[in-house]
Chain A
Amino acid sequence: MIDDARFDVLTDEELARRPFDELVVALQQTVQRLEGGNVGLEESIKLYKQGLRLHTACETRLREAELTITELGRRGVTGAEPED
């Protein structure tokens, strides 16, 4: 998961390479913290910036995603494998 500490060291490019669900969860948590009480104005602004970065990363992922396809043991299926 992406915690606050890692956030500060990740570049935008690195962030956009994180798994999509991780980004969405991090964004959700950021928004929830922002919405909850007990956060000062300074902290709110920091969280907001963090949220914007996550949002941009999500959009980048959605825009640039391409379905990857891997195939297992094709050779095995085409005859090299003995049948029961």
Chain B
Amino acid sequence: MPDQPTLWEQPEPPDEDEARWAEPPRAAPRILRVTDLNRRVRSLLDSDSVLADVWVEGEVSQPSFPPSGHCFFTLKDANSQVRAALFREELTRAAMRPEHGMNVIIHGRVRAYEPQGVYQLYVDTIQAAGAGDLHARYEALRRELAAAGLFEEQRKRPVPRWPRRIGVVTSPVGAVWRDITNVLRRRYPLAELVLSPTVVQGVTAAPAIVRALQRLYAQDAIDTIILARGGGSLEDLWSFNDERVVRAVADAPVPIIVGVGHESDVTLSDFAADLRAPTPSAAAELAAPDAAQLATVVGRLRDRATSALLGRAAEQRRSLDAERRALVGLAPDIGAARQRTSDLLDRGARALDDRLGRRRMVVESAVATLRTLSPAATLERGYAVARTADGRIVRDATQVAAGDPMQVIVARGTVETRVERPRVDATEELLS
């Protein structure tokens, strides 16, 4: 199916040459006036027995009640719509008055309205058909996707605080794209906007939105995505309830903000989004911080740096002061220490003196003792030392024999003598 023409694209004009020469003219072509064409279409429709007597079920959209007393509205379902006319006579007889969003069953006939070249449903009977079919499908799909976990709170990711690249999926013409660029230009011109354009209306909108989303998903380094569409009727916004779109929104690899229609319009895509915005402009505001506030934030950081540095300097000065005070406080201690040291020295010296004195006395008494023990003193007391000719001291009588020369040393002088007779057993006599 080819793209439906949209606001920003015009269908290509048919190639006139081709049209003219496609079939070789066998006879002169019959050229119709518009009126003739419309009349022919009308008679074609009028000749169809089904279209002349038809029951149709659909949803009433935007009924109008002009002063003529007639009622005109659109009858639609998820994919199609048809214009309907309920004339004053039928309207006064009707069991109900058509209201927007109402699901109805209509009886009437289809005819062409020649002046405008459109076909319409001329209604003669209208009755309510219970809850709107669209609404029922919305509810059924909502329950199904909720059960599949697409709307779970824990799936929702926070939107990056300072996005560098913001992807936008919307129609590139009209107020929505302009509003989004205006908001972000004013609020956060630091970002780059990456537009993935799409149609947002008509039966081709759903697959087109999905493709536009996927084009963005394939891009590198997109931080946040905005999916937006302006306000419209329920069927205008219906693509955002399309299962393919809702699933594509849920599949977003980065946080996605959905802003569709007005505050009161809540589509299933809103439920699947990480963040729901009431309008497209609000979506743009939620996507980025306000640069004016950022200037304040940044200024506050600088102020903090300044006061931290001043604080550090003051702290440094305080600790220098404390050190100086500590040094000053140490000065008298040095005097005291010096005093203590000299005291200690004095005490040490005294102690040393005392010990030397004591030692000297010990030495003197030892010398006295030694003196009493010396051989000279012994000789003085009357003892004598006997030595052999070779100088050995005689302690045993057997050391000598009769006739041996012997030297006897006394306190004053030496006596050279000879042994008369050694007696081994005479010591006791001598000492007794």
User: Please, which residues of chain A bring their CB within 8 A of the CB of B162?
Assistant: 20-21, 24
Distance of A33 Cα from B297 Cα, bound (Å)? 18
B169: nearest residue on chain A (CB-CB)?
A72
Binary flags per residue of A25-48, CB closer than 8 Å to B gives 1, else 0? 001101100110001010011011
Residue of A31, A69, A77, A84 touching B305 (CB-CB under 8 A): A31
Asked if B264 lies at the interface with its beta carbon under 8 angstroms from chain A, I say no
The residue of chain A having its C-beta at the shortest distance from the C-beta of B294 within the complex is A62
Q: Which residue of B lies closest to A33 (CB)?
A: B308
Residues facing A in B140-195 (CB within 8 A) are: 161-162, 164, 172, 181, 184-185, 189-195
Contact B193 A67 (CB under 8 A): yes
Q: Shortest CB–CB separation between residue B390 and chain A, in angstroms?
A: 93
Q: Residue B312 at the A interface, CB < 8 A?
A: yes
- Point out which of A44, A59, A65, A73 has the most chain B C-beta atoms below 10 A from its C-beta: A44
B298 touches A31 (CB 8 A): no
**Complexed CA–CA distance, A34 and B315 (Å):** 13
Contact with A along B189-231 (1 / 0, CB 8 A): 1111111111100001001100110011001000000000000
B215 to A55, Cβ gap below 8 A?
A: no
Q: A21-B162, A55-B301, A71-B197 are in contact. Are A79 and B308 (CB under 8 A)?
A: no
In the assembled complex, how far is the CB of residue A22 from the closest CB belonging to chain B, in whole angstroms? 9
Please, which residues of chain B bring their CB within 8 A of the CB of A77? Answer: 9, 197-199, 208, 212
A interface SS class: helix
A residues near B304, Cβ cutoff 8 Å? 31, 34-35
Q: Which of A55-84 contact B (CB under 8 A)?
A: 55, 58-59, 61-62, 65-74, 76-79, 81, 83-84
B1 at the interface (CB under 8 A from A): yes
Bound CA–CA A45/B199 (angstroms):
57
CA distance A65 to B3 in the complex (A): 38
Chain A residues, Cβ within 8 Å of B312: 34, 39, 41, 44
Q: Does any Cβ of A come within 8 Å of B96's Cβ?
A: no
Q: Mark B295-310, 1 if CB is under 8 A from A, else 0.
A: 1011101101110110
- Taking residues whose C-beta sits less than 8 angstroms from the other chain, chain B's interface range is 35 or more
Please, how many angstroms separate the alpha-carbon atoms of A62 and B196 in the complex?
26
In the complex, how many angstroms separate the beta carbon of A81 from the nearest chain B beta carbon? 8
Q: Place the interface of chain A in its size category.
A: 35 or more
The answer on a CB contact under 8 Å between B207 and A62 is: no
With the chains together, A34 CA to B185 CA distance in Å?
A: 34
Report whether B305 and A67 are in contact in the complex, using a CB–CB cutoff of 8 Å: no
The reply to whether A83 and B308 form a contact with Cβ atoms under 8 Å apart is no
Q: Is B2 an interface residue (CB 8 A)?
A: yes
Q: By the criterion CB–CB under 8 Å, are A55 and B302 in contact? A: yes
CA distance A43 to B308 in the complex (A): 12
- Is B313 an interface residue when CB atoms closer than 8 A count as contact? yes
Contacts of A72 in B (CB 8 A): 194-197, 212, 215-216, 219
Q: Is the CB of A62 within 8 A of B192?
A: no
B316 within 8 Å of A by Cβ? yes
Measured between beta carbons, the chain A residues less than 8 angstroms from B197 are: 71-74, 77
Give the Cβ gap from B165 to chain A, nearest Cβ, in Å.
8
Find the A residue at minimum CB distance from B299.
A55
**In the bound complex, how far is the Cα of B316 from the Cα of A44, in angstroms?**
11
| Contact across chains for A83 and B192 when beta carbons are under 8 A apart | no
A-B contact pairs, 10 of them (CB 8 A): A24-B162, A24-B297, A31-B301, A44-B309, A51-B301, A59-B295, A69-B192, A69-B193, A77-B198, A79-B3
4 additional A-B residue pairs with CB within 8 Å, beyond A55-B301, A71-B172, A74-B197: A20-B294, A34-B312, A52-B302, A70-B192
